[in-house]
């Protein structure tokens, strides 16, 4: 059943448009309350990132859930995976995250977690959509839901993050630059790494409601790279606005993406004697990751782009590790969803235990040059199948002669066509990607 409102990662859009209005979010809160209360208890937790519209939508959700007779626990600004964790530990029937992840401040969205801290299954999302279109009926005043704030939410999650690495692990003597994207990790990540002994330098840690993801965080890792070099740090770690993605930078200022992070964590698990079975990546995963993983004796499987598809693959195969090159890493042996802080801790713990640097840890992995160009869609269109676009793709594939890949896909979260080309020569790959991007732009009249 095709969904009308839910995308690949909840509901997301421009504030004040579509479902991102106070009225629609209140109705959605009511619908969520009615559906989830029938599947569990009458308790839902709400958390948010730091964008200014979060205040408005938090109040709207609280009103809608109360109208459905559901009690609410307010967490305030918290990373998305922290909300998933507290949903489980508070024994709530669901958790709701008010966030548009890596998008600019003028967007916002809603993500949902079930009682076990995982994304809602499709059938529940379908029930919520059906209830959303029903007439809103408010429960009797005597059974309206109540709301309370969880005062120690931050501390609970900090301890949960630290517990994902062995007791006794110390980052003493390691200088770390953290870029918190002026987002939900700003008051969490610095404490986690400092309490584990690292010398922490924080940037992107002064949110004002509008500067979330603005020229900072995992979507602008060059800022972190410059800070690492300036401070002569050992390592840099950048999160996105809601804290479920992570990128890293080595001491030489080179950006380490999700594929390389995933590879290091795989090596860490194998070094600890863990049987991984295989690794799940996506269509965007670098060919270098696939080859390196196979050298470790592990199977490598590609899924469609999106963490929910990686998660589905892991569960089907009984594996624990997968992720995307964007830095969305899933460690099911440590947590229930993608977690930027937890993923970074796995890398740091491995480096600390074995006395390695990021440079050394990746010395046996060679990444293929990969170029990604995002082409904006000014109008609602689907130019991928246009003859001129397909011809451009065929021309590039012929030029690559089997020594690279081309991937075109529509973004699931923004009005963009993502053009990815991978091959042996970076200059050629860049030129090829631009050729296809130009063809896409021309087809939509931009």
- Helix axis angle for 22-37 and 122-132, nearest 10°, is 120
Q: Are 69 and 145 in contact (CB under 8 A)?
A: yes
Nearest to 119 by CA among 10, 14, 211: 10
Query: What helix, strand, coil percent values describe the chain, rounded to 5?
Result: 40, 20, 40
Rounded CA gap, 29 and 38, in Å?
A: 14
- Return the HEC string of 207-223: CCCCCCCCCCHHHCHHH
Q: Do 363 and 356 contact (CB within 8 A), yes or no?
A: no
Helix (H) or strand (E) holding 288: helix 287-295
Catalytic residue of the set 53, 93, 101, 343: 101
- 341 contacts 85 by C-beta, under 8 angstroms: no
Sheet holding 255-256, edge to edge: 199-203, 175-179, 235-239, 246-249, 255-256
How far from chain centre, in Å, is Cα 418?
Answer: 17
Which residue from 258, 264, 250 is spatially nearest to 176, judged by alpha carbons? 250
Q: Any idea of the CA torsion for 356, 361, 363, 364, to the nearest 10 degrees?
A: 130
* Cα three-residue angle 35-41-42, rounded to 5 degrees: 75
Strands of the 278-282 sheet, one edge to the other: 299-303, 278-282, 321-323, 329-331
**DSSP assignment letter at 7:** B
101 is catalytic: yes
Q: Closest by alpha carbon to 261, among 250, 277, 272, 274? A: 250
Q: Active-site residues: which are they?
A: 101
């Amino acid at each position: 059943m095709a969904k009308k409102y839910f995308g690949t990662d909840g509901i997301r859009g421009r504030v004040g448009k579509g479902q991102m209005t106070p009225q629609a979010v209140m109705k959605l809160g009511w619908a969520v309350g009615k559906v989830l209360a029938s599947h569990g208890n009458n308790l839902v937790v709400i958390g948010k990132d730091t964008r200014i519209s979060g205040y408005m939508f938090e109040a709207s959700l609280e009103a809608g859930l109360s109208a459905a007779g559901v009690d609410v626990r307010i967490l305030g600004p918290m990373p998305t995976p922290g909300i998933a964790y507290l949903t489980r530990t508070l024994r709530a029937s669901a958790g709701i995250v008010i966030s548009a992840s890596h998008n600019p401040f003028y967007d916002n969205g809603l993500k949902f977690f079930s009682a076990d801290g995982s994304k809602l299954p499709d059938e529940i999302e379908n029930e919520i959509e059906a209830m959303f279109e029903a007439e809103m009926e408010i429960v009797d005043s005597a059974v309206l839901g109540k709301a309370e704030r969880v005062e120690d939410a931050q501390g609970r999650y900090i301890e949960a993050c630290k517990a994902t690495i062995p007791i006794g692990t110390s980052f003493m003597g390691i200088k770390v630059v953290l870029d918190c994207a002026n987002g939900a990790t700003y008051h969490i990540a610095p404490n986690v790494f400092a309490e584990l002994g690292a010398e922490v330098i924080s940037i992107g840690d002064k949110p004002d409601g509008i500067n979330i993801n603005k020229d900072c965080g995992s979507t602008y890792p060059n800022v972190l790279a410059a800070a690492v070099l300036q401070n002569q740090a050992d390592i840099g770690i950048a999160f996105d606005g809601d804290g479920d993605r992570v990128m890293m930078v080595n001491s030489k200022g080179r950006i380490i993406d999700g594929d390389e992070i995933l590879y290091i964590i795989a090596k860490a698990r194998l070094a600890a004697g863990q049987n991984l079975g295989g690794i799940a990546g996506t269509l965007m995963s670098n060919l270098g990751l696939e080859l390196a993983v196979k050298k470790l004796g592990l199977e490598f499987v590609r899924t469609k782009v999106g963490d929910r598809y990686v998660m589905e693959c892991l569960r089907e195969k009984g594996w624990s590790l997968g992720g995307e090159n964007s830095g969305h890493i899933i460690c099911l042996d440590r947590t229930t969803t993608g977690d930027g802080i937890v993923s970074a801790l796995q890398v740091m713990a491995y480096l600390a235990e074995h006395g390695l640097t990021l440079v050394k840890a990746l010395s046996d992995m060679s990444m293929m040059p990969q170029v990604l160009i995002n082409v904006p869609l000014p109008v609602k269109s689907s130019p991928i199948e246009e003859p001129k676009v397909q011809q451009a793709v065929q021309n590039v594939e012929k030029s690559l002669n089997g020594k690279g890949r081309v991937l075109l896909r529509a973004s699931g979260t923004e009005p963009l066509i993502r053009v990815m080309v991978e091959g042996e020569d970076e200059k050629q790959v860049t030129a090829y990607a631009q050729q296809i991007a130009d063809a896409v732009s021309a087809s939509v009249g931009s």
